[in-house]
Amino acid sequence: MGAILDRANAMAEESFIAASGPGGQNVNKVATAVQLRVNIYALGLPPRIFHRLKDIAGNRLNQAGDIVIDARNHRTQEANRREARDRLADMIENALKEPKKRAKTRVNRLNKKKRLATKKAHGEKKALRGKIDL
């Protein structure tokens, strides 16, 4: 896990852009928002992890295969950079987790019989709502 995360951090490209929101005059002068880009094809992930990461990334994944993460919640570049890298790490950690296999539920004989009897009664009730022949 650590190797994949280290590789992603090493390959990440950061660009700083002007942020909106609180910060007063500082917002107009300093580009504090961070745009982090990582190409998922270059990470060399196993297919199952790759597909899970694609699903997790969702609309953050562009046509070129780059995951683009924008962080603009803080007033400093360093805090935004940390947040963007943390979000990337969370995405990769979630992709590395193998989803639990769903266990089929089993219905016992008595419950199956009861369910079918209820369906039969409901059908008969609906059948009685039809037109009456005189």
Domains defined along the chain, listed by start: 2-96 (3.30.160.20)
- pLDDT at residue 79 greater than cutoff 70: yes
User: Cβ contacts of residue 88 below 8 Å, gap of 6+?
Assistant: 8, 9, 12, 36, 38, 67, 69
Q: Tell how far CA 69 is from the center of its chain.
A: 13
Task: Note the pLDDT of residue 26.
Answer: 66
End-to-end CA distance of the chain: 77
In the chain, the percentage of residues whose pLDDT exceeds 70 is 93
Question: b/e map of 107-128 (b: 16 or more CB within 10 Å)?
Answer: eeeeeeeeeeeeeeeeeeeeee
**What is the pLDDT of the chain when averaged over all its residues?**
86
- More confident: 43 or 24: 43
- More confident: 55 or 8: 55
pTM for the full model?
Answer: 0.68
CA neighbor of 53 nearest in space, from 79, 90, 80, 78: 90
